[in-house]
Amino acid sequence: MVALRVLGIDPGLTRCGVGIVDVTSTRSATLVEVAVIRTPPDLPLEQRLLQVGLEIERMLLEHKPGAVAIERVFAQHNLRTVMGTAQISGVALHMAAKHGLAVGLHTPSEVKAALTGYGSADKKQVATMVARVLGLAQLPTPADASDALAIAICHAWRRGATVAAPGAVLTPAQQAWLAAERSTAKSAPKRRLAP
């Protein structure tokens, strides 16, 4: 069965979660690799960005994913945190483009809804669903690793390459997410072309 391989990235300057999963058309997912790239705060910024970029590129070259998914940067009260997140997102986007890969950007609430059926789920709920979907005996830790895997799974499910095959068994969260996607598609206004 053909699987879509996705590299998921939870961007962060001090800790950047990266995870690769294979997802089949029946929505079953398998862990390929997960890691947290850490850079020390006392290292010059350009060196920290380079370290993260080199590790992302290693994973791209070694595992050859078909797509990259990144958590969309959102406003936070801590400007320093959001700047580091944005800088790492830029590095990840650059590496994906360099390797000719399409990138999906997903908000935290989209990822939570896809995995748990609830857009405000907490990190433990997301980690629990990631472990269940991937068949892991333990929850992936730290949260950056779990989040990266959740982003990758969400992307594969949303991309449409994993539309449920006849007879596929979906989790309750997958069923809720599919129902919401279909409802959104039906309620979207139809665009008319000008004569």
Q: Which residues are catalytic?
A: 10, 71, 144
**Cis amide prior to 142 (ω within 30 degrees):** yes
Q: Which helix (H) or strand (E) holds 34?
A: strand 29-38
3-state secondary structure of 140: coil
Q: Is 22 exposed, middle or buried (0-12, 13-18, 19+ CB in 10 A)?
A: buried
Closest CA to 114 of 161, 171, 59: 171
139/116 Cα distance (integer angstroms)? 15
